[in-house]
Structure 1
Amino acid sequence: MRNLKPLIYFILIGTIYSCAKISAPLGGPVDEDPPKLLEANPTDQSLNIKPEELVLTFDEYVQLDNPSKGIIITPRINKEEVIFSANKNKITVALNQELEENTTYVFDFQKSVVDVSEKNPAENLKLVFSTTDYIDSLSISGRVDYIFPPNKMDYKNVLVGIYPLNDTTDVFTANPYYLSQVDTSGNFSISNIKNGLYRAYAWKDDNGNLKAEFKNEEYDFLVDTLHIENNISAIQFNLSKADLTPIRILRTSNFGRNFDLILNKNAVQPTINQESLGEEYFFIESDKRIRIYPNTAKEDSIAFPIQLQDSTGFKVDTLIYAKFPETDRKPEKLTITANSGKNFFGKLDVELKFNKPVLAINTDSLFVKYDSASLFKINPTDFYFTDSTKRDLLKISLTIPDSISKEIFTLIAADSTFKDIEDQFNESVLEANYRKLKRESLADGISGRIEGASPPFILQVLDTKNQIIREEYLDSQDFEIKLIEPGTFQLRVIEDRNGNRRWDPSNILEKRLAERVFFFKGEDGKDQIIIRSGWTLEDQVIVASPPTGINTGKKPVDN
């Protein structure tokens, strides 16, 4: 019996341990029911209260999922002072601040409260109360779209917010006074708003700080003030990026005998007003840099009046003194990039891009070959530089007769065909192939009309890789694209309001909206258009997308 006592002791200890151990039940149905709110203190729609904390009680154990970002509190409070906590089946929100007088507060928990077992979020969990004897009931609603839609539409982290007109902050400097998360379809709604004047914004809050970052996040804004005295619906926002950093010259320096201007961002069509530009001096643009090349070294400093402008309209007008000294630095090699691989019909258009200004071309070694013994000689009348002050983009245009049945045409530039401003020649042979299409393989064309917008327009045909394969500039609402290669395309239209033949982003400081961009959509709602050999698509209608603003309901008032 004495020997059995230790055995009995260990059996008892094991039994007690196994009874005390908590483990998840095995088998059984998965819990798919969301937590249900049993009680809230204060209760929803309470009046004349200034609670120090909110306590929500549920029918099961719950926890919080990223509450600092997921719980939307309007109007704005100091969220850094708020403490969110979960204990068993209770959620507590300690406010730790004095609430405003005569204000309706909304705590929208969205999907931040989840059950412990399966992380099912509580549904439609919202708590509204007021510090006065009424609940503000005004609302705004609408839709958010992208000017340049991503390949996979994503409204995650897209927010809409409004700021009182007398608030000195904005979407770039502080959280909004009222805030809403856009749903998965691009729609938004903000409720329980106090009567007043507001400024409205939408933005993609990628970093989760509840503010817009104009350098790397898409955003949009209403130009006019929102006078909210009734419910306002059909507000439209169109998101795009617009870097509001003013363009400036960071530094200047010599590179060999050349002179560099280093910029903080790329300029749009920079202007250099120097009387000898295009004769003694040339310049090249690259990524955030402008390089001025002299044809010979110069002993004295040379004045260059320079005007720079960025895509948002900011300008720099300055005078730079540049030096072009003798140098032992070895010049960069001359490189050439061709638009090889293009298909053509009737006219062969070749583009050659150089890394430096090219001053001389030996046409004896420049030709197009289409079989072992046949070629087209390229004459000076067949090519031109698009800008004589840069001489870095050469365009060659040749008419190829239909009688030539060959399919592949090869542009050949022998070594030493091109000589740049630093007396460097191309060291290797350039060969670029182009494919001639047969007339019977082409579609006759696409024609139609653009509705809901005013010309001029930039009409672009995009392939399935989102590359521009054809571009037309239109001075009317009618369009026609002739002899197009069969395939699946998108038709994209830019409403070129200022007529500068490019898309311009917004400038919130100047209250200028981005230019609208819209696509052809078929009867099925898809933005693809299919055309086959011999087809003619007529009477195609491209309807402009809604502009930013209020499309129906009460009109906004001017500031």
Structure 2
Amino acid sequence: MGGPRDEDPPVVLEMYPADQSLNQNPEEILIVFDEYIKLDNPNKNIIITPKLDKDELIVTSLKNTIKIELNQELEDNTTYVFNFQKSVEDLSEGNPTENLKLVFSTGDSIDSLTFSGTVNNYFPERGFEYENVIVGLYEKNDTTDLFTAQPYYLSQADSLGKFMISNIKAGDYRAYAWNDQNNTLKGEYKSEIYDFILDTISITQNIDGVNFNLSKADLTELKLTRSSAAGSNYDLVFNKDPLNIELKNELLGQDIFYTVGDKRITLYSKETKADSLLFEIKAQDSLSFKVDTAIYAKFPESERRKEDLTFTANSGKNFYQDLLIELSFNKPVMDINYDSLFVSYDTASFIQINPEMVRMEDSLKRDKLQIILTIPDTLSKEIFTIKAADSTFLDIENQYNKAVLSANYRKLKRETLADKLSGTITGAKGPFIIQLIDTKSQINKELYLSEGNAFTLTLIEPATYKIRVIEDSNGNRRWDPANFKEKRHAERVFYFIDPKTNTQDIIVKAGWTVEDVLIKATPQTGLQNSEITPVDN
């Protein structure tokens, strides 16, 4: 009482077995400290390699001693590492003991090989922490992988994504990395990001410069789980959202239209049909899993209450000269009363919308409407409002919109915009998708670069941005995730890094021209040291 605050971590007085000792086969581990201690989440924070069955371990702390009851046989001629990280704290102030390891061998030598490198996240989200990322090695002949069992050797990455697995026995291994959110020491492909090295790696010397690029890829195969009438409509329900959809029927786009959402396709018919209609269905997800089938759909009379026609608008968007208004409906829209559809820019002035200004994004769906206007600089108003009265839009079920539409858009002045942002991409081969990302993680501008590696973006709103580049290897104008079953990596994603601040932020101000921006591609997944040669799988 009254003395200085204890800032010293616990100090180890004794270990059993002793650190770096040989020919050990203990039934329990004992570590004695110079003060009373406590354990912080030992199941997660104590990393043991090679793998032991953690369900059999009993880890306790009493006063100044940690005891680990193993309750299982150890492998012969094997080096075991108990890495306590920051799990041991003093009882009074919670000061953690750092770099606490116990290494011993059941044979007459200590394995000393290392496997180290960096983990990268293609699409980092707020709150993501590299410390939750596990890098694991599985023995070549092990039939399990990151989704079915914990690895033979493992390590956690640090806050910068660096990792090292130490005390490895020479041999052939398969390597994986994943964000272990649920602390199971296994990957969950539906919810966790992960990556893998394609080839089996022969570890006969220390390996450094390994790179993993984490991203999400749901390995669930796409399936049509149900097809049935829903009132006078017809639903096709999938187990996940399809990406590409192709429907074939002679009435499609004439009497029959469809919408897509929430893992389902809903078919709508203008009129009831006495007979079932044959539809050919082809669907594909982002991992190229496919559904190719045919169904007979019915469109009977129904007393079920029709769903109201609703819409959303891309309101709040800023624009310069070209105003793009997008309206999304919950059902196909068949008719528009243009007399009550207009854009106002003050209390007495408006622009009447006519059919030439309107297009449907997909004529087979008719649920996304685009209105394109060019507003000249001579019209010096700032706020433009799209307005529509009730009963402006009529859907396929003869339902009018009940809500009125009023959505605002702000016109920018030329002098408030940055003139140009240009640069080059190195270390990758196009085509490229170049995206300017704002502080809300929204895409402000996007450019598709078919050839070359030099890009230019013009007339940019002043703000702080990130520049994201997608290496579109197959030229389909979208990012493709990894396919673990087909041993195919995700398309690379990388960002501009400011060499002065070492951040991804790039500041753009009114009237500025930002040139010579150099975007360096992050390394591909795998071994970056050319002297290390993978072995055949």
Match of 2:408 in 1: 433
Q: Matched residues in 2 for 1:457 and 1:170: separation? A: 33
Distance verdict in 2 for CA 1:374–1:178, change over 3 Å: same
* Distance (Å, rounded) in 1 between the aligned partners of 2:475 and 2:217: 19
Q: Secondary structure at the match of 2:490?
A: coil
Q: Which residue of 2 aligns with 1:475?
A: 450
Q: 1:224 aligns with which of 187, 199, 208?
A: 199
1:171-227 CA deviation, whole Å, 9 max, x = no partner? Answer: 111111001111122111001111111111111111111111111122111122121
2:23 partner SS: coil
* Map of 1:17 onto structure 2: none
CA distance in 1, matches of 2:309, 2:357: 22
Q: CA shift at 1:533, angstroms? A: 1.7
> Could you tell me how far 1:61 is from its partner in structure 2?
2.8
Is the 8 Å Cα contact of residues 420 and 513 (structure 2) preserved in structure 1? yes
Q: Structure 1 residues 403 and 323 mapped into 2: Cα distance closer, same or farther (>3 Å)?
A: same
Q: Who is 1:446 aligned against?
A: 421
**What is the aligned partner in structure 2 of residue 464 from structure 1?**
439
1:207-246 maps to which residues of 2 (within 5 A)? 207-246=182-221
Residue 74 of structure 2 corresponds to 99
Match of 1:554 in 2: 532
Counterparts of residues 221-370 of structure 1 (less than 5 Å): 221-370=196-345
Q: State the 1:152 CA deviation.
A: 4.5
Task: Provide the C-alpha distance between the structure 2 equivalents of 1:456 and 1:136, rounded to a whole number of angstroms.
Answer: 46
Per-residue deviation, 1:422? 0.8
* Residues 374-402 of structure 1 deviation map (CA, whole Å, 9 limit, x = unaligned): 33333322221111110111111122222
Q: Distance in 2 between matches of 1:404 and 1:555?
A: 65
User: Following the alignment from structure 2 to structure 1, what is the Cα–Cα distance between the partners of residues 389 and 478?
Assistant: 36
Q: Which moved more, 1:430-439 or 1:535-544?
A: 430-439
Distance (whole Å) between structure 1 residues aligned to residue 90 and residue 463 of structure 2: 51
Partner residue of 2:121? 146
Of stretches 437-446 and 388-397 in structure 1, the one that deviates more from structure 2 is 437-446
Residue from 364, 371, 380 that aligns with 1:396: 371
SS state at 1:300 partner? coil
Counterparts of 2:66 and 2:332, CA distance in 1 = 69
Between 1:399-408 and 1:255-264, the stretch displaced more is: 399-408
State whether residues 310 and 403 of structure 2, in contact with CA within 8 Å, keep that contact through their aligned partners in structure 1: no
Cα separation, 1, equivalents of 2:381 and 2:99: 68
Q: Which residue of 2 aligns with 1:381?
A: 356
Q: Which residue identity is paired with 1:76?
A: K
SS of structure 1 residue aligned to 2:55: helix
Compute the displacement of 1:505 (Å). Answer: 1.8
2:62 paired residue among 55, 67, 87 = 87
Residue by residue, what CA displacement relative to the aligned partner does 1:316-371 show, whole Å, maximum 9, x if unpaired?
Answer: 11212211101112211211212122221121111111111111223333332333
Alpha-carbon separation, structure 1, partners of 2:156 and 2:320: 50
Q: Is the 8 A contact 2:131 2:161 kept in 1?
A: no
Aligned equivalent of 2:470, options 472, 475, 494: 494
SS in 1 for 2:276: strand
Deviation at 1:257, TM superposition (A): 0.4
- 1:132 is aligned to 2:92: no
Residue type matched to 1:485 in 2? E
**Counterpart Cα distance in 1 of 2:184 and 2:210:** 24
Task: Report the equivalent of 1:528.
Answer: 505
- After TM superposition, the structure 1 = structure 2 runs for residues 191-206 of structure 1, keeping only pairs within 5 Å, are 191-206=166-181
| Farther-moved stretch of structure 1 (56-65 vs 527-536) | 56-65
State yes or no: 1:420 paired with 2:431: no
Q: 2-side partners of 1:64 and 1:533: how far apart?
A: 55
Identify the match of residue 512 of structure 1 among 488, 492, 504: 488
The yes-or-no answer on 1:121 pairing with 2:96 is yes
Cα drift, residue 153 of structure 1 = 4.9
SS, match of residue 298 in structure 2? strand
d(CA) in 2 for partners of 1:454, 1:220? 21
Query: Alignment partner of 2:85: what SS?
Result: coil
Alignment deviations for residues 486-536 of structure 1 (CA, whole Å, 9 cap, x no partner): 222221111222222222221211111122222222232221111222111
CA–CA distance in structure 1, aligned partners of residues 35 and 18 of structure 2: 19
Q: Distance in 1 between matches of 2:510 and 2:66?
A: 65
Query: Does structure 1 residue 177 correspond to structure 2 residue 155?
Result: no
Distance 1:116 1:376, change over 3 A: closer
Unaligned runs of 5+ in 2: none
- In the alignment, residue 509 of structure 2 is paired with which amino acid? R
Question: Counterparts of 1:306 and 1:269 in 2: how far apart (Å)?
Answer: 11
Residues of 2 paired with 1:495 and 1:548: CA distance? 14
Which AA in structure 2 matches 1:555? T
Structure 1 residues 87 and 442: alpha-carbon distance in aligned structure 2, compared to 1, 3 A threshold = closer
Report the more deviating stretch, 425-434 or 171-180.
Answer: 425-434
Distance of 2:504 and 2:447 partners within structure 1: 19
Distance 1:187 1:303, change over 3 A: same
Percent of aligned positions that are identical: 59
Change (3 A) 1:85 1:367: closer
Match of 1:542 among 501, 519, 524: 519
Q: Give the CA deviation at 1:298.
A: 0.8
- Residues 369, 85 of structure 1: alpha-carbon distance in 2 compared, 3 angstrom cutoff: closer
Q: Which amino acid aligns with 1:101?
A: D
- 1:426 Cα deviation (Å)? 2.0
Determine which structure has more spread, i.e. the larger CA radius of gyration: 1
Structure 1 consecutive aligned stretches of length 4 or more whose deviation exceeds 6 Å? none
Give 3-state SS (helix, strand or coil) of 2:343's partner. Answer: strand
For the residue of structure 2 that corresponds to 1:40, the secondary structure is strand
Q: 1:39 to 1:256 in 2, by over 3 A?
A: same
Deviates more, 1:50-59 or 1:174-183: 50-59
Task: For residues 273-329 of structure 1, give each alpha carbon's deviation from its aligned partner in whole angstroms, at most 9, with x where no partner exists.
Answer: 223211121110111121011121111111111122222222111212211101112
Match of 1:15 in 2: none
Counterpart residue identity of residue 504, structure 2 = D
SS at match of 1:250: strand
DSSP-derived class of the 1:68 partner:
helix
Measured after TM superposition, the shift of residue 114 of structure 1 is: 2.6
Determine the C-alpha separation between the residues in 2 that align with 1:300 and 1:315.
28
How far 1:166 sits from its partner (Å)? Answer: 0.6
**What's the TM-score once normalised by structure 2's chain length?**
0.95
Q: What code does the residue aligned with 2:386 have?
A: L
Structure 1 length normalisation: TM-score? Answer: 0.92
Label 1:94 to 1:276 Cα distance change in 2 as closer, same or farther (>3 A): same
